[in-house]
Amino acid sequence: MSHRTIAPLALSLLLAACATVPPVVEAPAAAPTAAAAPHTGMVSAADQRASEAGMAMLEQGGSATDAAIAVMLALTVVEPQSSGIGGGGFFVHGTPEGEVTTLDGREKAPGGAGPDWFLDDNGQPIPFMDAVMSGLSVGVPGNLALARKAHERYGQLEWAALFEPAIELARDGFVITPRLNATLARAKNRAGRVPEGQALFYDAAGEPLPVGTLVKNPALADSLAQIAAEGPDWLYQGPAGAQLADYVAADTPRDGAMVPADLRHYEAKWRSPVCGEYRVYRICGMGPPSSGATTVFAILKQLEQFDLAALGPDSPTSWHLFAESQRLAYADRGRYLGDSDFVDVPVAGLVNSAYLTARGSLISPTSTLADPEPGVPPGADLALAEGPEWPEHGTSHFAVVDREGDAVSWTSTVEGPFGSGLMYGGFYLNNELTDFTMVPLVDGVPVANRVEGSKRPRSSMSPTLVYGPEGNLRIAIGAAGGATIPVQTAKALIGVLDWGLTAQEAIALPGLFSPGDTIVLEPGSSLLAMKGDLEALGHKVVEHDMPFKANAVEFVGGQWLGAADPRSEGVALGN
């Protein structure tokens, strides 16, 4: 199956998924999306209450890692549609001296899962929502294991202290925001799938609780208190984990379902960071099973030969070049990226300077590529195929810098809105396994991202750190929004590094997504005025809502500056 064949299917699935994205809701006027703090700490997250939880840790003398863990836990309470302890994530840590480490807390398939996991009796993929709304979609959660390992290496405060803000929010209550209310309305099938979710977020008539309603989640408060006292072993080694596995297995309509041993054997893994040079900057991110670092870097490096600074953000040529580079990068992503514990991912080749320069030379400022096929990076396994994908959704990103200048960029997710809809202990369980490719083989050739027992599905999450020419941290950034995440991240970096914008301005730039043969433009954006210019260059252009949501912290002008997407309810706070 060629890239040309797959791209329309992937785009149609993406657009179908985006149709369920809640409408854009601006943050309240009292909650600024950017803040500055000279030489102190900074937190940027998708919800003010999560940013406040992180700031509370910094004010107690905690590290960036302490603050980031507190943010992740608070988001479990206040942004349950996007992330939490029922899901997983990727953690990128950087020191002021440029030492970067990355930690993989991606969810895993049960050990008994196999290539036919999502196939029916005729060998055809089952309907997407049939997969989501069952135990088939639930991977072993990884965020708590990630938090423990990160805290063991970089934490300063006591483990239990990190839970206090989230426990208070769950026990004493949190107010439903416009975005949560909109998602509850659009994702009733998931959020209210089980009685616990229905009772928590819906009234007697089955309608979402209105904006401003105070919601208390005592079951989640109890779970968090147990984990604060006992550590992550509460989930992975004890009776609670065994009960969770049994609960998921009872909802799984085939053999090979999750068992307690899947939780007992789960491990968050330190991985080698993926770094490369773009102009005078060092870009570092998360390697496989994330496709983030390789895809973000490919988009940038393929454009290095063009004078983007001279073109600027108001030029249709800039956006044409950006679209073409996406098409090339996503072709390689689809062919080669997967869990490197199971497939040979040519990471070094995918970020090889000569290879990406050659790929970039395929881009013309005056025409479009007819059919951007995957390239052949050094070390590539040519015995792999690209398969059709289900859509990716949701997620939450947060960035933290502490007093010492250490930075954390962490992307956390439960996949779609409210994950699988299954709830355990007051939190939603992910549907990450639908990030695997639909089919295991294409024309008899194995797909890199096929389902295998204990494998981690490929992810678009792209937590990123950028260091300047003097070796200083320039920006910690990432995004949420499924397959658009690498593009959002690359767009913001072009805005900052090439166009001289602040991170806040760069994140707010209009969205353009072009993973295949069609450019998708953000409705209501300034890019709509360029539609005719892009079409004249040969592009097929459509307008459609997309789930954009990015957060960043940057060092500029001698101070830390936070940024949060104006399309979201995100807030950056400094102490």
**From the DSSP assignment, how many helices (H) and strands (E) are in the chain?**
21, 23
Neighbours of 220 (CB within 10 A): 27
Neighbours of 28 (CB within 10 A): 12
Task: Please give the distance of CA 70 from its chain centroid, rounded to a whole number.
Answer: 18
Neighbours of 273 (CB within 10 A): 18
Cβ atoms of 404 and 96 within 8 Å: the answer is yes
Report CA dihedral (561, 565, 570, 575) to the nearest 10 degrees. Answer: 0
Strand order in the sheet with 269-271: 269-271, 100-105, 88-94, 407-413, 396-401, 42-45, 571-574
Dihedrals phi, psi of 272, to nearest 5 degrees: -70, 130
- DSSP state for residue 289 in the 8-state scheme: T
Among residues 65, 102, 295, 395, the one annotated as catalytic is: 395
Whether 368 is catalytic: no
Task: Tell me the HSE value of 5 on the side-chain side, using a 13 A CA sphere.
Answer: 7
Entry field: residues in the chain = 575
Strand duo 540-543 + 518-521: pairing: parallel
Whole-number Å distance between alpha carbons of 414 and 430: 4
DSSP conformation letters of 386-412? ----PPP---EEEEEE-TT--EEEEEE
296: closest CA among 539, 463, 476? Answer: 463
Q: Active-site residues: which are they?
A: 395
